[in-house]
């Protein structure tokens, strides 16, 4: 009798733990879904802002100074790259993990993983330590130099907006894989319960 | 105060002054802008513009419209009007009218040179050039490797030749050299235009002095703001400012050392005409340009003012079109400058 009660207790504990695990997966799935939708919304508004700032820059500087015909077609290294790695989730499966390497320079065949490298100056350098982060990165300025060296602050703001949008896209991609993984877990748990 | 322009101006300039005053009456009004700002699509904008002088230029454009198409067609109207005035003008008005377009010529030269540096197709670049700044040998710019060749092969036979004396080097063209070339050319052009107007004398000299001084000051502010945080040193920045204008020379000394927008604002507020500059810069300029039409007669300033007002109008249309196309109508009043 006592053994029956103990077994019954253990079975109830097991069911409780299973339910707890299922709830946990479900909560994680819903959290990731919520984060995903929030990031999509954020991406949309960041891109809208970027496009408007670009239009504003074209309005200030003139269409002849900001247009697609000025983009550089020479072969050159990408200023920003995306690294895809496999991340172990629970030693049973792995999911892709996306990392953005911003302003990575491979001019000398070396990758600097987002660290800033100074360019060889064409004019005398100023001390940039007092300047805001918005305009101090040489790589950031170099990528805008296709439109000229003295560009409107609106163009720099547009650049930052599109940079933010790119970061958001990578976050969305990572969250998407997490969300799919959680969905699989929830689905598996449901099947186990029904089975 | 001035010469006896009233006695002699109409002999050669009367017809064209009447023409340009007629053109001026065709500028968009506040009511037109209010209608345009309420448009939902670019086709609505086209429909509203069909009732204005831009109508014939846009009527054959198929849907869906693009903002660049609207700007191109409106610019064509300005070009047609300018060419009509130029072919009817005699000296010195014809030279004056040509001076108005040298800024566009400089922009086109820089566009071709920059695009070539980036290995773009010359035909593609020519399509982006401003029609008022075209000249015969412009496509040949693509073969130049440095500024000396640029001058020797192409620009020596253009009106920009005298402005090149401070730019000629044998250094290969790159983004920085091109930027310095652009600003040095524009500085030389403005100063030359200023001297030409002074030589004309009379009401033209008086009115154009103010207009060109404003242009030089506006340029100085733009250079200052755009160079904040870049590698351009104070000395290099100062060298790009024109040698005339209300801000010359003390304002330039202060602008050269500005590190942020607040410091620029502080400098400009010391000059009464520019005290509200950051809130009303473009509007102030439009008022000043429009004054050239009303305050005096018998001077060439009306032609310069008309061209600038039309260009401002085209910029307004561009901004309104972009806001409508991007569904950002709440931002339309950020940059529209009402001329009337």
pLDDT digits (tens, 9 = 90+) for A85-139: 987 765 556 788 999 988 765 444 333 333 333 333 333 333 333 333 444 477 7
Over 80: is that where the pLDDT of B72 sits? yes
Of A73, A136, A149, the CB nearest to B119: A73
Q: Which residue has the tokens 């799919």?
A: A180
Distance CA B68, CA A68 (A): 12
Rounding to the nearest 10 degrees, give the CA dihedral for residues B168, B180, B172, B110: -90
Q: What is the pLDDT of residue A167?
A: 95
pLDDT confidence of residue B9 = 82
User: With an 8 Å Cβ cutoff, are B176 and A128 in contact?
Assistant: no
Average pLDDT over residues B291-316: 84
* Percentage, residues of chain A above pLDDT 70: 77
The average confidence (pLDDT) of chain B is 88
CB < 8 Å to B130, chain A: 64
The pLDDT, as a whole number, for residue A133 is 41
Name the one residue in this structure whose structure tokens are 């942020």.
Answer: B260
Quick one: which H or E segment has residue A81? strand A81-88
Cβ-contact B290, B30 below 8 angstroms: no
Beta-carbon separation of B319 and A55 below 8 A? yes
- Whether A74 sits inside 8 A of B319 (CB atoms) is no
Report the residue of chain B nearest A70, measured CA to CA.
B115
What's the rounded Cα separation, in Å, for the pair A131 and B230? 9
* Tokens linked to A194: 């029904």
Question: In this predicted structure, what is the pLDDT of residue B281?
Answer: 53
Q: Compare CB distances from B230 to A73, A74, A149 and report the shortest one's residue.
A: A149
> For B26-35, B221-230, B259-268, B274-283, which range has the lowest pLDDT when averaged over its residues?
B274-283
- Helices B202-227 and B277-294 pack at an angle, to 10 degrees, of 160
Nearest to A98 by CA among A184, A182, A178, A180: A178
Residues 6+ apart with CB under 8 A from B302: B17, B20, B21, B24, B292, B293
Between vectors from CA B269 to CA B240 and to CA B232, what angle results, nearest 5°?
A: 25
Q: Would you say residue A22 has pLDDT above 90? A: no
What is the spatial distance between Cα B97 and Cα B80, in angstroms, rounded to a whole number?
Answer: 13
Nearest CA in chain B to A151: B226
pLDDT for A116 equals 36
Cβ contact A134–B229 (<8 Å): yes
Pairwise CA distance, residues B308 & B315, whole Å: 11
- Cα of A48 to nearest chain B Cα, Å: 8
Residue A145 pLDDT > 60, yes or no?
yes
Confidence of residue B279 (pLDDT cuts 50, 70, 90): low
**Burial group, residue B199, by CB count within 10 angstroms (0-12, 13-18, 19+):** exposed
In DSSP notation, B85-145 reads HHHH--TTHHHHHHHHHHHHHHHHHHHHHHHHHTT--HHHHHHHS-GGG--TTGGGGGG-S
Residue of chain B minimizing CA distance to A129: B229
Whether the Cβ atoms of residue A157 and residue A53 lie closer than 8 Å to each other? yes
Number of neighbouring beta carbons within 10 Å of residue B27: 18
Cβ-defined contact of A52 to B174 (cutoff 8 Å):
no
Nearest to A145 among B175, B226, B322 (CB): B175
Mean pLDDT of B65-88: 95
**Contact across the interface for A63 and B124, Cβ inside 8 Å:** no
Strand partners, A97: A85
Distance linking the first and last C-alpha atoms of chain B: 29
In chain B, helix, strand, coil percent, each to 5?
A: 70, 0, 30
Q: Which residue, among B126, B101, B59, B329, has the nearest Cα to B193 in the 3D structure?
A: B101
A194 interfacial to chain B (CB closer than 8 Å): no
Q: Look over chain A and give the mean of its residue pLDDT values, rounded to a whole number.
A: 78
Q: Is the pLDDT of residue B222 over 50?
A: yes
CA dihedral A86, A88, A92, A93 (to 10 degrees): -30
Across the interface, of A56, A123, A130, the residue whose CB is closest to B231 is A123
What does the alpha-carbon distance between residue A154 and residue A147 come to, in Å, rounded to a whole number? 13
**DSSP code per residue over B263-300:** HHHHHHTTSGGGTTHHHHHHHHHHHHHHHHHHS--SST
Q: Residue B142: pLDDT band by 50, 70, 90 thresholds? A: confident
**A134/chain B closest Cα distance in angstroms:** 9
**Residue B313: closest CA among B28, B21, B20:** B28
Give the list of residues 6+ apart from residue B265 with CB closer than 8 angstroms, or none: B277, B278
Looking at the DSSP bridge assignments, the partners of residue A96 are: A86
CA distance A195 to chain B (A): 52
Residue in chain B closest to A128 (alpha carbons) equals B229
Per cent of chain A over pLDDT 90 is 34
pLDDT band of residue A16 (cuts 50, 70, 90) is: confident
pLDDT for res A89 = 61
- The CA distance from A44 to the nearest CA of chain B, in Å, is 12
- Measure in Å the smallest separation between the Cα of A159 and chain B Cα atoms: 15
Percent of chain B at pLDDT > 70 equals: 91
Nearest Cα of chain B lies from the Cα of A104 at a distance, in angstroms, of: 20
Q: Give pLDDT, residue A2.
A: 75
Q: Give pLDDT tens digits for A48-78.
A: 999 999 999 999 898 889 988 888 888 888 8
| Sequence-ordered list of residues with C-beta below 8 angstroms from that of A155, at least 6 positions apart, any chain | A53, A54, A57, A61, A66, A144, A147
Sign of the Cα pseudo-torsion (B150, B153, B159, B165, in order): positive
CB contact under 8 A, A71 and B118: yes
- Whole-prediction pTM: 0.85
Residue A135 token pair:
């305009």
Interface test with B, best of A56, A61, A67, A69 (most B CBs within 10 A): A69
Q: Decide if B318 and A58 are in contact by the 8 Å CB cutoff.
A: yes
CB contact under 8 A, B331 and A52: yes
The answer to whether the CB atoms of A65 and B328 lie below 8 A apart is: no
pLDDT at A125: 35
Q: Where do we find the tokens 């927008």?
A: B261
């Amino acid at each position: 009798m006592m053994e029956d009660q103990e077994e019954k207790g253990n079975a109830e504990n097991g069911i409780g733990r299973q339910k707890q695990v299922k709830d946990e997966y479900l909560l994680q799935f819903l959290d990731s879904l919520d984060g995903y939708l929030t990031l999509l919304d954020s991406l949309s508004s960041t891109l809208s802002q970027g496009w408007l700032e670009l239009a504003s820059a074209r309005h200030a500087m003139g269409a002849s100074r900001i247009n697609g015909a000025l983009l550089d077609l020479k072969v050159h290294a990408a200023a920003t790259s995306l690294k895809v790695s496999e991340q172990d989730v629970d030693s049973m499966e792995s999911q892709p993990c996306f990392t953005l390497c911003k302003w990575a320079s491979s001019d000398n065949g070396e990758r600097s993983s987002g660290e800033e490298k100074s360019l060889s100056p064409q004019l005398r350098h100023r001390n940039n330590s007092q300047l805001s982060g918005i305009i101090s990165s040489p790589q950031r300025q170099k990528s805008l130099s296709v439109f000229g060296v003295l560009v409107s602050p609106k163009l720099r703001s547009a650049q930052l907006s599109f940079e933010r949008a790119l970061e958001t896209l990578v976050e969305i991609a990572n969250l998407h894989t997490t969300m799919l993984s959680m969905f699989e877990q929830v689905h598996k748990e449901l099947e186990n319960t029904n089975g | 105060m001035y010469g006896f322009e009233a006695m002699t101006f109409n002999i050669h300039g009367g017809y064209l002054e009447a023409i340009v005053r007629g053109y001026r009456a065709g500028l968009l009004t506040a009511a037109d802008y209010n209608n345009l700002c309420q448009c939902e699509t670019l086709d609505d904008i086209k429909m509203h513009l069909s009732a204005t002088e831009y109508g014939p230029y846009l009527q054959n454009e198929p849907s869906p419209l693009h903002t660049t198409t609207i700007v191109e067609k409106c610019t064509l109207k300005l070009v047609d009007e300018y060419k009509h005035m130029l072919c009817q003008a005699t000296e010195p008005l014809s030279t004056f009218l040509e001076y108005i377009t040298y800024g566009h010529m400089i922009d086109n030269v820089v566009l071709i040179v920059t695009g070539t540096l980036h290995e773009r197709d010359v035909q593609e670049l020519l399509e982006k050039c401003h029609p008022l700044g075209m000249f015969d040998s412009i496509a040949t710019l693509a073969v130049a490797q440095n500024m000396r060749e640029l001058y020797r092969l192409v620009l020596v036979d253009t009106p920009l030749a005298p402005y090149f004396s401070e730019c000629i080097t044998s250094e290969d063209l790159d983004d920085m050299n091109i930027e310095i070339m652009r600003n040095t050319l524009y500085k030389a052009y403005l100063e030359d235009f200023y001297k030409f107007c002074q030589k004309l004398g009379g009401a033209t000299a008086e009115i154009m002095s103010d207009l060109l001084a404003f242009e030089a000051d506006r340029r100085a502010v733009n250079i200052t703001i755009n160079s904040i945080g870049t590698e351009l040193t104070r000395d290099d920045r100062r060298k790009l400012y024109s040698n005339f204008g209300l801000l010359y020379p003390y304002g330039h000394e202060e602008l050269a050392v500005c590190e942020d927008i607040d410091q620029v604002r502080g400098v400009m507020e010391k000059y009464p005409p520019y005290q509200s500059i950051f809130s009303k810069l473009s509007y102030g300029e439009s008022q000043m340009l429009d004054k050239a039409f009303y305050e005096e007669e018998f001077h060439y300033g009306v032609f310069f003012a008309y061209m600038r007002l039309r260009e401002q109008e085209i910029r307004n249309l561009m901004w309104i079109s972009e806001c409508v196309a991007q569904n950002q109508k709440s931002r339309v009043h950020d940059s529209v400058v009402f001329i009337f």
